[in-house]
Structure 1
């Protein structure tokens, strides 16, 4: 009598996880950001001329797409300076200012937010009062007043822009730090003898880093536009250095005769801020579990 083979028990196989596809617009934005960063790092190697080199014989020469020569692909300005070379250096300067200001704002906001969450009481009230005061203050008027009174230098300019938007990071850091304390893991680490510095730096900060990074990507375009606006008004980067807003400010006087002086940096400002905003929105959707 032959024994029948037991029936095979079906095993549920989990379907393979689908990789999240990057939307086409976000992919284009990432490529543009990578190109801009590469230009900023290699500015001294790839610029064809010095930003102060004058060629009065080629003054206001049009770009190639308007009948100009390849000696100056994007044309020249009112002093015969190569627009492409100045654009490359301007990209590096504007990104340096924006990155420096964003880091200062994030650091200041996170530190004050952690102080408010840790001490509570009057410390929290004082920090939140500063946050409300900063949110109510017209920053452009404050920046114009400080730069007009104290003069202008690159460290002062970056530090001043670093005061823009720090209240957002303070609110986020305070709220998330209080939430982390309510979840229990921060209190457990503290009961094991960890110092407050170790609790916030090694345990709380890594858990809220994703939210802070997304906030930085969303605030980064605002800093670029603010720098461009102040430089456009003549209170930003001073000659012989140049920035995107500086180029736009000088090009406005030749808008009808030589529009390429203004259009090239304007296009870079628009495309860069748009790309960073698209990537920031995409990162927020990817990293926020409530939006999945």
Structure 2
């Protein structure tokens, strides 16, 4: 019977008291919670349908009937922004999940086998890093087509090297710990060692990287939709709304201002959340 070994406390355990005292994290958490509620309950919270047209009120300024005004087709801007929250969060969640799973799997594979396997994987990550973000996304979408699904996959592939580097650096640090050497001495299999002892101890940095990547993924989706490579009309997308409103900026500035504010708040919220989590995990900030 294999004796049990005492494993050091995992670094993924959060100092909860410090979390609740972190203003940046609380503000970001509140903003994200509000946006998640808007995304989940959009059909009940939006005053109108996202594609519902009021032709008699085209380009109407903000009023009691249309709080954020209407666009050139008479569609309510507030309703479209609320539904756009659902799309932005869906795209960012799927794309970052792809990057997290793929990057972590590649990093653990590199740490497990080392040698030429590690070298090949990390050089591949370096090659992906060498390409400008937008250029690489455009190249992937040019090869597979400009659809929302391909946009999510492209964003996920582009962010994979960031997760691979973070996971590999953290895993290498864990592998040098004494309790890992003790586990090796007791004959614990490499797979069990990675799953039971290495992966839980690298969750902290991965959580921080995830929160920061979600902010950039929202920005990337908005940029692709603005360029016509993401969501297509009449889908409610913040980037698409910015694109549609640019021709009417002087006549109806609310068409571009309010979607821009939505993108800014979403990116700010995830950045504040990431900064707060980083402060909570960093023992030097105690």
TM-score by length of 1: 0.87
* 1:236 corresponds to: 230
Q: CA deviation at 1:186?
A: 3.0
CA contact (8 A) 1:56 1:80 kept: yes
Q: Is 1:199 aligned to 2:193, yes or no?
A: yes
* 1:277 corresponds to: 271
Q: 2:151 aligns with which of 157, 166, 170?
A: 157
Q: CA deviation at 1:178?
A: 1.9
Cα distance, 1:271–1:202 mapped onto 2, change above 3 Å:
same
Query: Which string of whole-angstrom CA distances, capped at 9 and with x for unpartnered residues, describes residues 187-229 of structure 1?
Result: 4334445433322222211111011101111222111111111
* 2:41 corresponds to: 42
2-structure distance, mates of 1:79, 1:56 = 6
CA contact (8 A) 1:36 1:91 kept: yes
Q: Is 1:137 aligned to 2:149, yes or no?
A: no
1-structure distance, mates of 2:260, 2:135 = 23
CA contact (8 A) 2:18 2:280 kept: no
Matches within 5 A, 1:53-202: 53-64=52-63, 70-202=64-196
Cα distance, 1:24–1:187 mapped onto 2, change above 3 Å:
closer
Note the aligned Cα RMSD (angstroms). Answer: 1.8
Cα distance, 1:19–1:143 mapped onto 2, change above 3 Å:
closer
Q: Which moved more, 1:275-284 or 1:77-86?
A: 275-284
Query: Which string of whole-angstrom CA distances, capped at 9 and with x for unpartnered residues, describes residues 141-190 of structure 1?
Result: 12223324432222211111101221121112112222222103234334
Q: Is 1:209 aligned to 2:209, yes or no?
A: no
Q: CA deviation at 1:20?
A: 6.7
CA contact (8 A) 2:170 2:205 kept: no
CA contact (8 A) 2:53 2:74 kept: yes
CA contact (8 A) 1:29 1:278 kept: yes
Q: 1:219 aligns with which of 213, 227, 249?
A: 213
CA contact (8 A) 1:52 1:240 kept: yes
Q: Return 5+ residue gaps in structure 2 as ranges.
A: 1-16
CA contact (8 A) 2:96 2:210 kept: yes
CA contact (8 A) 2:27 2:272 kept: no
2-structure distance, mates of 1:185, 1:88 = 50
Q: CA deviation at 1:131?
A: 1.3
> Which has more radius of gyration?
1
Cα distance, 1:255–1:35 mapped onto 2, change above 3 Å:
same
Cα distance, 1:87–1:21 mapped onto 2, change above 3 Å:
closer
2-structure distance, mates of 1:91, 1:142 = 25
Cα distance, 1:174–1:92 mapped onto 2, change above 3 Å:
same
CA contact (8 A) 1:117 1:175 kept: no
Higher relative contact order, chain-length normalized (CA < 8 Å, sep 6+) = 2
1:164 aligned counterpart, secondary structure: helix
Q: 2:245 aligns with which of 247, 251, 257?
A: 251
Q: Return 5+ residue gaps in structure 1 as ranges.
A: 1-17, 65-69
Q: CA deviation at 1:23?
A: 4.4
1:144 aligned counterpart, secondary structure: helix
